[in-house]
Amino acid sequence: MTATDTAIAGGVTTQRRGLPGWLLGLVLFLAFCAVRTLTDESDITSVGTFQAALTLAVPIAMAGLGALWSERSGVVNIGLEGMMALGTWFGAYFGWKLESPWFGLLFAALAGMAGGALLALAAVNFAVNHVVAGTAINIFAPGLASYLSGALFVGIPGAGPKQSPPIEPFTTVTLPGAGWLDDLNAKGWFVISDIAGIIGGLITNVSLISIFAVILFVVSWFVLWRMAIGLRIRASGENPWAAESLGVNVINIKWLAVLVSGFMAGVGGMALVNQTTKYVANQTAGRGFIGIAAMIFGNYMPGGTAAGSGLFGYSDALQLRANSAVVALLLFVAIVTLVFALNSFLKGKAISGIVLVVAAVLIFLVWLSFGEGDQLATQFVAMTPYLITLVVLAATASTLRAPAADGVEYRRGEH
Amino acid sequence: MSRGQRIGYALAGPGIAIVIAFLISAVIIALAGINPFSTWGTVIDFTTSTSNMVEIVNRAIPLFLAGLAVAVGFRMNLFNIGVEGQYRLAACVAAAAGGAALLPGLLNTLLIIIVAMLVGAVWAGIAGVLRVTRNVNEVVATIMLNYIAFNLANWLLNNPFKYQVEGSSNVSTEPIPDSAWLEGFGIGGNDLWGFLWIAILLGIGYSVVVNRTRFGFDLRASGENAEAARASGVNAKRMILAAMLISGALAGTIGLPILLGTEPHAYDLSFSEGIGFNGIAVALLGRLAPVGMVFGALLFSFLDISKGAFQLEGLAPELVIVLQGTILYVAILADEFMREKQVKKAQEIAAARVESKPSDASEVKA
């Protein structure tokens, strides 16, 4: 168990302790800033990158929040990808027809909830295996979206069977002080400019849908952890039979949670449409699934889900903005691996420590093999978010705890 | 319960699903302002031509293989959602290996098959190892591996495996020499792909392994009650790894009927997509049984081919995907419903037998 794992799980470990979580975080952050300074890749912590990271993180975060609601109630929701796809199509169609992104948002959320209803009917009422039911939705939803595009978008100027006409995006707001932070970021000072870039990026040109997403996170946390209904939802995910014996209508509770889950996925779909200002076929590109991964990585908690989504949003932003910065990041990955190796040695786990040192050296050699201005093949850049998801899960999954009855095919009165 | 009754219960789910899906599609077609009956007439005319019927069987072969690959994992509640990525990467590498013509004739065919199965198994194996050693959920892992595989195959195609006819902009792997193709047999001037025989053998092999071997028993036991299986000495980690590797190896074969059976005998950017995802549907429609999956594959292939007929009627061909999705969704619901009915019925029969036993005994005494 590594120190961050311990920090995430918040658990007590009988093993020798590694570095404390805050120190590990600080070391990694300093290494991050140092890589930016040494490689002179200003995009690693530029205002523009973090602004893009926030925008790109929002759809993933909404899928992750959807997963949180559903899985906390004990329903595994693989169908988020499909529900998100429904959100993109209906959001774009009504955003265009009714000439307002807010109407788009409304219908995207409703379409996501319709997808949620399909999952709830199958998984909750019929007790179909949740992965199977979700997969059916993932086959059905993009098919419906492309059929509707073929039927309703063909022949409209600027649109076609693979995309909708453009819609008006949500208004963006910039908080005071952003300009000053941008200037500070441009100075290129170690740590100071990096922090200015991160904060500046998060308060410059923020779309109203991003702010809406933040509000949904706060509300979700409050409902799930501070209200009676939230306790019932979580009880249904941990032990539905116990909840049932206390008079909770588990079927209704699960329905509610899955509908909210679909709502979140629909909002995430609209956030995607807002980025491209139109529906594009298959634009979800696995973001629903990455959202689930972000939620697992975040240990089934809202804060962790947000952090995980931020990580994926950042890797997405960096690969879109600057190819060379992704190469520079390899150096950072090598350092991270080395720090974890040190941590393993401190905890007396020599074998995993040696494996990590070898990995760090290999990554470092790969980084060295890139000359000045060398480009990473686009396909490898495109892989980054998925690869990071896998690596992060491999590093953390064994210490995470899912709700005890997550994915169980619950039937009333059995057990 | 008699064999007939059991088959009846098994068929009810897909049957109900097809009827409901066709009713829904009739509504959708009518909403588009087109007569559904004339549409179905066109579909039947279109799909009953000899060439299209052969094509339906041909296109069902990869779908059936995909169903097999998915079913191996699903038997033990192990969800390999990564069949899509496994077969595309495997097809890309196997096509390049075959195109290099390292071996003569049918030995080359054998090499292609082995390479494809190895690549598929390795790719699925990554998810298996992550699950066993790091406890990473195989659903998420295989989905992420899908996206990595698509990009990797794309990169391989454009770099080490790149083959371009001069003056053409079409990039593919080097075509497989004709000595390695699997000769099909002609029906009315249309070739039925030669890989059909291998697919049938694999189907029989699956059936024998799952139903008649210790491994198959452990597989089914792990799926039905993982705790009980573990208690009876089944090594859960080994089963997960083995199921993942077999599933991946079968997934590797999905692209081969196409590579060995039809032009351009190479992997390119327009290589068939989506078979892996549809394989999930085929496996579920066929209730993880080989014969059922044959019909599932034929149904999905039939719907794919009928896209052409929908286009003739002025309908967006994606209607077929809506239909396929609807059939799958309703089938899994109806299946679960029928399964519960079947369990109840079986319990009633058993209960009746238990009640009648003591009276039998008393009669003997008297």
| Alpha-carbon gap, residue B322 to A148, rounded angstroms | 10
- C-alpha distance from B338 to closest chain A C-alpha (Å): 11
Q: Are residues A377 and B155, on separate chains, in Cβ contact within 8 Å?
A: yes
For A77-87, the pLDDT digits (tens) are: 999 999 999 99
What pLDDT does residue B109 have?
A: 94
What pLDDT does residue A408 have?
A: 87
The dihedral sign for the CA sequence B256, B258, B261, B266? negative
**pLDDT greater than 50 at residue A9:** no
Instruction: Pick B140's closest partner by Cβ from A150, A151, A393.
Output: A393
**pLDDT greater than 60 at residue A6:** no
For B120-159, the pLDDT digits (tens) are: 999 999 999 999 988 898 988 998 999 999 999 999 999 8
Residues 6+ apart with CB under 8 A from B133: none
Q: Are residues A390 and B145, on separate chains, in Cβ contact within 8 Å?
A: yes
Question: Quick one: tokens of A216?
Answer: 């949904």
User: What is the DSSP code (8-state) at residue B177?
Assistant: P
Q: Are residues B134 and A161, on separate chains, in Cβ contact within 8 Å?
A: no
Whole-Å CA distances, A166 to A95, A332, A347, B171: 9, 39, 56, 33
| Alpha-carbon gap, residue A267 to A111, rounded angstroms | 10
- C-alpha distance from B183 to closest chain A C-alpha (Å): 34
Check whether the bond before B264 is cis (ω within 30° of 0).
yes
3-state DSSP call for residue B171? strand
User: What is the DSSP code (8-state) at residue A44?
Assistant: G
B78 φψ region: left (φ > 0), alpha (ψ -120 to 50), beta (else): beta
Q: Are residues A142 and B321, on separate chains, in Cβ contact within 8 Å?
A: yes
**pLDDT greater than 60 at residue B177:** yes
What pLDDT does residue A11 have?
A: 45
The CA angle A130-A133-A138, to the nearest 5 degrees, is: 120
Q: Are residues B148 and A386, on separate chains, in Cβ contact within 8 Å?
A: yes
For A250-297, the pLDDT digits (tens) are: 999 999 999 999 999 999 999 999 999 999 999 998 899 999 989 988
Instruction: Give chain B's mean pLDDT.
Output: 89
Q: How many CB pairs under 8 A join A and B?
A: 140
Structural contact between residues B71 and B293, judged by C-beta atoms closer than 8 angstroms: yes
Instruction: Pick A136's closest partner by Cβ from B136, B148, B328.
Output: B328
DSSP string of B79-140, one letter each residue: --TTHHHHHHHHHHHHHHHHHTT-S-HHHHHHHHHHHHHHHHHHHHHHHHHHHHHH---HHH
Question: Quick one: tokens of B320?
Answer: 């077929």
Q: Are residues B144 and A129, on separate chains, in Cβ contact within 8 Å?
A: no
Q: Does A132 touch chain B (CB under 8 A)?
A: yes
**pLDDT greater than 80 at residue A16:** no
A285 contacts in chain B (CB < 8 Å): 147
**pLDDT greater than 70 at residue A15:** no
Rg (CA), chain B: 23
For the segment B109-124, the average pLDDT, to the nearest whole number, is 97
For the segment A105-124, the average pLDDT, to the nearest whole number, is 97
CA atoms within 13 A on the CB side of A308: 36
Q: Please choose, from the candidates B117, B116, B138, the residue with its C-alpha nearest in 3D space to the C-alpha of residue B126.
A: B138
| Alpha-carbon gap, residue A359 to A353, rounded angstroms | 10
Q: Does an H or E element contain A396, and which?
A: helix A378-396
| Domain extent listing, chain A | 1-9+17-41+322-401, 47-285
Q: Does A357 touch chain B (CB under 8 A)?
A: no
Amino acid identity, residue B223?
G
Whole-Å CA distances, B86 to B125, B127, B241, B254: 10, 11, 16, 9
For the segment B269-291, the average pLDDT, to the nearest whole number, is 92
pTM: 0.89
For B47-89, the pLDDT digits (tens) are: 998 889 999 999 999 999 999 999 999 988 899 999 999 999 9
| Alpha-carbon gap, residue A148 to A166, rounded angstroms | 16
User: What is the DSSP code (8-state) at residue B185?
Assistant: E
Instruction: Give chain A's mean pLDDT.
Output: 88
| Alpha-carbon gap, residue A125 to B341, rounded angstroms | 15
Amino acid identity, residue A274?
N
Whole-Å CA distances, A327 to A21, A310, B128, B308, B348: 27, 20, 29, 46, 67
Q: Please choose, from the candidates B152, B147, B148, B178, the residue with its C-alpha nearest in 3D space to the C-alpha of residue B92.
A: B152
User: What is the DSSP code (8-state) at residue B254?
Assistant: T
Q: How many CB atoms lie within 10 A of CB B267?
A: 32
Q: Please choose, from the candidates A62, A85, A319, A59, the residue with its C-alpha nearest in 3D space to the C-alpha of residue B151.
A: A319
Residues 6+ apart with CB under 8 A from B56: B47, B298, B301, B302, B305
Residues 6+ apart with CB under 8 A from A230: A222, A223, A224
Q: Are residues A139 and B79, on separate chains, in Cβ contact within 8 Å?
A: no
Structural contact between residues B164 and B178, judged by C-beta atoms closer than 8 angstroms: no
Identify the closest residue of chain B to A147 by CA–CA distance: B318
What pLDDT does residue A302 have?
A: 96
| Alpha-carbon gap, residue A18 to A342, rounded angstroms | 9
Q: How many CB atoms lie within 10 A of CB B262?
A: 14
For the segment A20-41, the average pLDDT, to the nearest whole number, is 85
What pLDDT does residue B359 have?
A: 54
Q: Does A359 touch chain B (CB under 8 A)?
A: no
For the segment A107-116, the average pLDDT, to the nearest whole number, is 98
Q: Please choose, from the candidates A375, A378, A324, the residue with its C-alpha nearest in 3D space to the C-alpha of residue A40.
A: A324
Instruction: Pick B326's closest partner by Cβ from A128, A140, A151.
Output: A140
The CA angle A86-A89-A95, to the nearest 5 degrees, is: 125
For B11-28, the pLDDT digits (tens) are: 887 888 888 888 988 898
| Alpha-carbon gap, residue A151 to A161, rounded angstroms | 8
Structural contact between residues A28 and A328, judged by C-beta atoms closer than 8 angstroms: no
What pLDDT does residue A64 have?
A: 97
- C-alpha distance from A267 to closest chain B C-alpha (Å): 22
Identify the closest residue of chain A to B329 by CA–CA distance: A136
Question: Quick one: tokens of A197?
Answer: 């870039």
By CB atoms closer than 10 A (0-12, 13-18, 19+), residue B185 is: exposed
Q: Which of B99-113, B177-191, B196-210, B348-362 has the lowest mean pLDDT?
A: B348-362
For A349-408, the pLDDT digits (tens) are: 888 888 889 988 998 888 888 876 677 788 888 888 788 888 888 877 777 888 998 888
